[in-house]
Amino acid sequence: MDKNWEIEANQIRSIEPKHILFLCVANSARSQMAEGIARSLAPSRVTIASAGSNPSTVNPLAIQVLKEIGIDISRHMSKSVQEIEAAAVNIVITLCAEEVCPVFLGKAQRFHWPVPDPAGGGVEGFRKIRDELVCRLKYIFQ
């Protein structure tokens, strides 16, 4: 994974996020993990959400690897991007790498962090993506 995310992370910090939406296709792994991690790090004034263009269910490995670091997303549900109030969102971060990212029809500033889908990599693949997201989101919020 490249380091270009740092440029976008600096831009996000300068915007002073009010509502961040993490998007991927199924809203089952990457975006769910990003939502959980961001909620644990962001100031309470920042709203954090995630969604997908073709939502399914939250992957149990995403729940497991976040629980390992003290974050509970066991009650999260996959959501459709259509369920999100577009006008409230000021930052969208897409996390798709090998698939086509969902379109967000709002005026939010858009950023793209191409993070590989951990689904084929077992628990270690999920840990790798979790650790990458922790690194990026700590950079933004701390």
Q: Out of 9, 24, 26, 46, pick the active-site residue.
A: 24
H-type helices in the chain, by residue range? 5-15, 30-41, 60-67, 122-141
User: Is 135 a catalytic site residue?
Assistant: no
What 91-94 contacts at long range (C-beta under 8 Å, 24+ apart), as own/partner pairs, is 91/12, 91/15, 91/17, 91/19, 91/20, 91/21, 92/20, 92/21, 92/22, 92/23, 93/12, 93/20, 93/21, 93/22, 93/23, 93/34, 94/23, 94/24
End-to-end, the C-alpha distance of the chain in Å comes to 21
Q: Out of 26, 58, 61, 96, pick the active-site residue.
A: 96
User: Is 101 a catalytic site residue?
Assistant: yes
Known catalytic residues? 24, 96, 101
